[in-house]
Structure 1
Amino acid sequence: MKKIIIVLAFIAASAGAYAQAQFAIGIKGGPNFANLNVSDPGATYKARTGWHAGGFVLMKFSKIGIQPEILFSQQGSKIKVQGNDLNANYSYINIPIMVKLYTVAGINLQAGPQFGFLTKAESDYNPVTGEPINSTQDFKNAYKKSDVSLAMGVGWDLPFGLTIDGRYNLGLSDVSDQAAYETKNQVWQISVGYKLIKFGKGN
């Protein structure tokens, strides 16, 4: 009898949780302010402005949400070396898996791992030799094909399905392969999103 009561209580609690749950599918995008953390004593690295765009799925249970995303992201850096102003233009497909802690009025704190996959690495700076070159070239082979970052930020789920996020992606893995110096991604992002499809309660 005790076991039956426990099972019924678990089912009731689960049903209550799902009754309060929100499921949403949406799109998001915005500017990137990307830089590279490179152990290169002969060059100075500054932020490069790019953009990101993609989609997300939100599963929200009371004060906790889980939000996997898939985003195209322009990253890289501006580089000053030997008096030359150069550019490193990299692109990734990123898959962050965010855990969101909701506070009041849809405001939430976010953190989670991000897995990135390199799609482009073009530059007029040679990361293998550390020298400037005369034209923009493909240096994708100088970098690893994948990246792992820690994503942290704050967001606001507004009424009518709108969302706003500010996030910092701290590169944890060295993405250099043939490149001469250890290299890690660093990206600030501001996103505006919209929930296209919603089920359940909540904003």
Structure 2
Amino acid sequence: MKKFVCLLLLAIATVPVKAQSARFGVKGGLNVATLAGDVDNSTPRVGVHAGGLVEIKIAPKFAIQPELLLSLQGAKSKYSEASPGYSYASENKINLTYLNFPVMAKFYVIPKLSLEAGPQIGLLVGAKNKYTETENDGGFVTTFSSTQDIKGGLKTAEASFNLGASYYFTDHFFTQARFCIGVTSIDETGTYYRVDNGNGFVYRSGGRTLTNNVFQASLGYRF
């Protein structure tokens, strides 16, 4: 992680910024986020992202674009079982809030279309897990729910790699699609995620690999 951060800072520091070549902007949109790795039955969670950017032209067809984004990520996980006269269902909703710092290298295929790739550092600012379960045993229904702060079980920083593209409707308005692929595991202790071991639910213990994967669709304005 330290090497990744150093390379990211070096990439920013070595970009020659000229006032006439730098254009600021804002963007926001939807996230479709999942957790990959040692996770049972993970399904996507829909969230949002918003923030600012600066596009720095370094050649007619090339640019560097650092960004600062607040991003709502995470995943959902469901489990159910049923037999005559009995049913059980549970769900975890993991809500992760990140402050992300991507630095994108942009290549303009044509004046209105750019292909983009680059590293990203994400800082975790909030993490909660909402757990619910419902049991129906012969018509007797019990429900349990709880919300747990799980930030202590996750790493403060994560590294990702981004691939995407932008299309400019005008000189100012653009749309963007991006896939953020987690490179480093976010799991610190591995003690917060409830899983079924065949005899009931238990808390899995450490040593897991758990990464963020996020698809982003954005609309933006470049000044």
Q: TM-score range by the shorter chain?
A: 0.7 to 0.9
What is the aligned-residue RMSD (CA, Å)? 1.9
Q: Secondary structure at the match of 1:141?
A: helix
Q: Which structure has the higher relative contact order (CA within 8 Å, separation 6+)?
A: 1
**Aligned residue number for residue 44 of structure 1:** 41
Matched, 1:88 2:78: no
Q: Secondary structure at the match of 2:111?
A: coil
Matched, 1:145 2:151: no
Matched, 1:66 2:72: no
C-alpha distance in structure 1 between counterparts of 2:210 and 2:162, whole Å: 17
TM-score by length of 1: 0.79
Matched, 1:98 2:109: no
Q: Secondary structure at the match of 1:152?
A: strand
Matched, 1:191 2:214: no
C-alpha distance in structure 1 between counterparts of 2:217 and 2:76, whole Å: 20
Superimposed CA distance per residue, residues 53-93 of structure 1 (whole angstroms, 9 cap, x where no aligned partner):
00000012300010000000000001114531220000000
Q: Between the two proteins, what is the percent identity of the paired residues?
A: 35
C-alpha distance in structure 1 between counterparts of 2:181 and 2:171, whole Å: 31
Q: Which runs of 4+ in 1 moved over 3 A?
A: none
C-alpha distance in structure 1 between counterparts of 2:171 and 2:164, whole Å: 22
TM-score by length of 2: 0.72
C-alpha distance in structure 2 between counterparts of 1:151 and 1:81, whole Å: 31
Task: Report the residue type matching 1:121 in the other structure.
Answer: A
Q: Unmatched 5+ residue regions in structure 2?
A: 1-17, 81-88, 132-143, 191-204
